Chain A
């Protein structure tokens, strides 16, 4: 599974760097928030996978909806003059680190069991 993730990521990076299309600068902030949401979803999925609670529907819907909504919210906030993207960065950033910590603990637990 991890192999597939890394493979997909590398493939995407290669395609992305060679794509003739680039985002308009206007959207760069929204895209960056969306990327954060996507990364958060992926780490959530890895954690669920390790805990054997992985539900693919929840993951895929979460990935797509979170990514889009994060960008949209950042845009709405910008229109209204509220820096809503801080909220997205805070929420997803916090969860990201929490998930990383839990993944670390899970892996350590597994390794200890095997020893």
Chain B
């Protein structure tokens, strides 16, 4: 065989190997994925990993709790104290206790502007949606407890609903002026109300009476309605 032919043989062998391995790769039944898609998948994997990390943290937290219980059991009787403290914490978190702390008082009242032919009278009164929006804004600004005219507003419980000339909150009829008390970082809450794009400021532009004052101590009543759960069922961890 000539030298030239040997080189031919080697090169063709290489080409054949390339083709065969490629064919094998493709026949695995998988599809080519571009770099862009690959990075998307990578991001998804990262998100899943972060979730796993969170779950691990949750496990560690629960382990801490278990060890706390165990310690309490060993030292006898104080298990009741631990459970008692936990019940108190849970009650406070779910708005079932009277609470106090620094916060703000937000006053809202109907406008005293004169009606003329261009104004709609419903522009001049406080609506249920206005109150709901203000409450949500305070919540977003970090309010930990909110009440309107003495009615505790819980995000998952309270209903804020229009009922003709009055507004119904927690099935109680409330009329203007509305006093919204909120506990939280009073500076944050105040600026959430006063910022030019806030809903409260929009109400001000409509001519409604809006005033906000920071308070050193705000006291907020507990949620006073019966709590009924007809449809909720617990999903156990890991189910």
Chain A residues within 8 Å of B, Cβ to Cβ: 1, 4-5, 7-17, 19, 21-23, 25-26, 28-29, 31-32, 34-35, 38-39, 42, 56, 60, 63, 78-79, 81
Contacts and interface: CB of A to CB of B under 8 A. Distances in A.
Given A9-B15, A25-B33, A16 B8 contact: no
Closest CB pairs A-B (n = 9): A12-B16, A16-B20, A8-B12, A12-B13, A16-B17, A8-B9, A13-B16, A12-B17, A9-B16
B11 A16 contact: no
A4 B9 contact: yes
A29 B31 CA distance: 10
Contact of B15 (A1, A38, A81): A38
A23 B25 contact: yes
Given A7-B9, A8-B12, A60-B7, A78 B17 contact: no
B22 A35 contact: yes
B227 to A, nearest CB: 55
Contact of A10 (B8, B16, B21): B16
Interface in B102-129: none
B83 interface: no
Nearest to A54: B4
Given A22-B21, A28-B26, A4 B5 contact: yes
Contacts of B9: 4, 7-8, 11
Given A8-B8, A56-B4, A81-B36, 19 more contacts: A4-B12, A8-B9, A8-B15, A11-B16, A12-B12, A12-B15, A12-B18, A13-B20, A15-B20, A16-B18, A17-B20, A19-B17, A22-B21, A26-B33, A28-B22, A28-B26, A35-B15, A56-B7, A78-B34
Nearest to B1: A4
A5 B7 CA distance: 10
Contacts of B20: 12-17, 19
Majority SS at the chain A contact face: helix
B232 interface: no
Contacts of A12: 12-20
B35 interface: yes
Interface residues of B, number: 31
B205 interface: no
A4 B184 CA distance: 85
A21 B9 CA distance: 22
A18 B126 CA distance: 80
B32 interface: yes
Contacts of B19: 12-13, 16, 35
Contacts of B30: 25
Contacts of B4: 56
A35 B18 contact: yes
Interface in B24-45: 24-26, 28, 30, 32-36, 38
A20 B36 CA distance: 29
A2 to B, nearest CB: 10
B10 interface: yes
A13 B17 CA distance: 5
Given A25-B30, A29-B32, A56-B4, A63 B18 contact: no
B12 A9 contact: yes
